[in-house]
């Protein structure tokens, strides 16, 4: 790994490349974890940072890439500033994923135990009963998510020396967290409610996922590059549509995907009675309505039957059509707003990836 680069000695590159910025994102994350580990006051805290670091490794860095593409498109040239902000949104993503897994009672992420799963297994190894072991794992994961969330705001502040820009960035990040929390709350409260509509689900998914995963990173990158608020709002609006399409596809993969490719149990949403675009579409079917109202049966046959009904009524096809419509609307909006050509090109590529991704 290269020697750490500070903001005040950042390379100014007229033609930023993701390969360079992406490496700096990884460095910024590693440095943040290392400094947090050094500051930890107990061995338990050091151990937690080790496991949080493992959870941050890998992945395609989709959100930092969105920061990068908007930053470069609006004329940004400071590689380290861009990478620092990209690392901040990656920490935010890590925090919300850890908390979401706790809410969903998932102990696996990317095909391996997540933070909650690791601490649950530790507790089971000590002889704790399964319920108590799971509770311990979930409790530690909440603490870990909080640490990552705090880091996101700290790194965001470090991405610029301009007080005005820093305030704008902080406002966007705060709003993203607030909206993600509101969406997560609706996701929890809408479970087991077959009376909710597809529009209700889409509104929830815009808040829970699309804002922090797509709209906010694009908006943050534009602001860091010096784009005025109206232009930053334009790119965020496009990102919101792309992000909603992404989550609709995620609903399909979360029900019909391959666990080896998605990296998490594909039955978790159905077992938890979660309302998705798929189940909302099929909610008039009596068996689906009963499943949503009562919760999933523990037997795998119950989930398999619901999945079979979703295919029979065309819920998967409807969801895919909806995702394509949202992606098309996003690209139309990008043209209408006259976003920079390079950014429109990247958004087209991203939409194609969203619609055809396997995991």
Q: Does residue 278 contact residue 317 with C-beta atoms inside 8 Å?
A: no
Range 127-164 burial, b when 16+ CB lie within 10 A, else e: eeeeeebbebbbebbeebbebbbebbbebbebbbeeee
Bridge partners for 113 per DSSP: 108
Instruction: Give CA–CA dist 223/183, Å, rounded.
Output: 24
- Provide the residue ranges of all domains of the chain, joining segments of one domain with +: 8-159, 162-359
Q: Does residue 73 contact residue 14 with C-beta atoms inside 8 Å?
A: no
Look at residue 293 in the predicted model and tell me its pLDDT.
Answer: 80
3-class DSSP state of 137: helix
**Segments of the chain scoring below 50 in pLDDT:** 1-13, 297-301, 359
In 63-128, DSSP assigns E strands to 108-109, 112-113
Look at residue 358 in the predicted model and tell me its pLDDT.
Answer: 54
Q: How many residues does the chain have?
A: 359
3-class DSSP state of 12: strand
Output the six-digit token pair for 308: 């079979």
Range 180-210 burial, b when 16+ CB lie within 10 A, else e: beebbebbeebebebebebeebbbbbbbbbb
237: closest CA among 219, 221, 251, 224? 219
Q: Does residue 98 contact residue 144 with C-beta atoms inside 8 Å?
A: yes
Look at residue 232 in the predicted model and tell me its pLDDT.
Answer: 97
Look at residue 2 in the predicted model and tell me its pLDDT.
Answer: 42
Instruction: Give CA–CA dist 232/238, Å, rounded.
Output: 10
Helix residue spans in the chain (DSSP H): 18-39, 43-56, 62-73, 79-104, 115-125, 130-158, 163-190, 198-205, 216-224, 229-256, 259-262, 268-271, 277-281, 286-294, 300-312, 315-336, 341-356
Look at residue 12 in the predicted model and tell me its pLDDT.
Answer: 47
Instruction: Give CA–CA dist 217/306, Å, rounded.
Output: 36
Tell me the angle at which helices 18-39 and 130-158 cross, rounded to the nearest 10 degrees. 120
Look at residue 357 in the predicted model and tell me its pLDDT.
Answer: 75
Tell me the angle at which helices 216-224 and 62-73 cross, rounded to the nearest 10 degrees. 40
Domains 8-159 and 162-359 share a fold: yes
Q: Does residue 275 contact residue 190 with C-beta atoms inside 8 Å?
A: yes
Q: Which CATH number fits domain 162-359: 1.10.600.10, 3.10.129.10, 1.10.3720.10, 3.40.50.2300?
A: 1.10.600.10
Instruction: Give CA–CA dist 59/160, Å, rounded.
Output: 26
Q: Does residue 47 contact residue 54 with C-beta atoms inside 8 Å?
A: no
Output the six-digit token pair for 331: 């690209």
Output DSSP code: residue 76: -
CATH tag, 8-159: 1.10.600.10
């Amino acid at each position: 790994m290269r020697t750490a680069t500070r903001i005040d000695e950042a390379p100014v590159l007229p033609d930023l490349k993701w390969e360079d910025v992406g490496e700096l994102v990884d460095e910024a994350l590693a440095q943040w974890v290392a400094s947090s580990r050094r500051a930890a006051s107990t061995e338990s805290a050091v151990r937690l940072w080790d496991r949080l670091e493992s959870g941050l490794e890998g992945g395609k860095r989709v959100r930092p890439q969105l920061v990068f593409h908007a930053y470069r498109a609006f004329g940004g040239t400071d590689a380290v500033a861009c990478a620092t902000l990209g690392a901040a949104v990656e920490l935010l993503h890590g925090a919300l994923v850890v908390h979401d897994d706790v809410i969903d009672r998932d102990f696996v992420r990317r095909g391996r135990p997540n933070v909650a799963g690791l601490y649950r297994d530790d507790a089971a190894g000590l002889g704790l009963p399964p319920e108590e072991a799971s509770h311990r794992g979930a409790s530690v994961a909440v603490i870990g998510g909080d640490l990552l969330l705090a880091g996101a705001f700290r790194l965001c502040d470090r991405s610029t020396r301009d007080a005005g820009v820093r305030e704008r960035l902080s406002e966007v990040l705060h709003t993203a967290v607030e909206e993600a929390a509101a969406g997560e709350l609706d996701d929890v409260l809408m479970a087991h409610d077959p009376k909710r509509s597809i529009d209700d689900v889409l509104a929830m998914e815009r808040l829970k996922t699309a804002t922090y995963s797509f709209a906010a990173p694009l908006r943050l990158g534009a602001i860091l590059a010096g784009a005025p608020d109206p232009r930053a709002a334009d790119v965020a609006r496009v990102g919101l549509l792309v992000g909603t399409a992404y989550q609709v596809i995620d609903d399909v993969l979360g029900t019909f995907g391959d666990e080896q490719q998605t990296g998490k149990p594909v039955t978790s949403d159905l077992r938890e009675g979660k309302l998705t675009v798929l189940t909302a579409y099929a909610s008039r079917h009596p068996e689906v309505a009963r499943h949503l109202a009562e919760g999933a049966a523990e037997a795998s046959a119950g989930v398999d039957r619901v999945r079979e009904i979703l295919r029979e009524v065309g819920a998967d096809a409807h969801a895919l059509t909806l995702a394509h419509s949202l992606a098309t609307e996003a690209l139309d909006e990008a043209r209408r707003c006259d976003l920079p050509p390079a950014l429109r090109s990247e958004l087209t590529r991203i939409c194609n990836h969203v619609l055809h991704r396997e995991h």
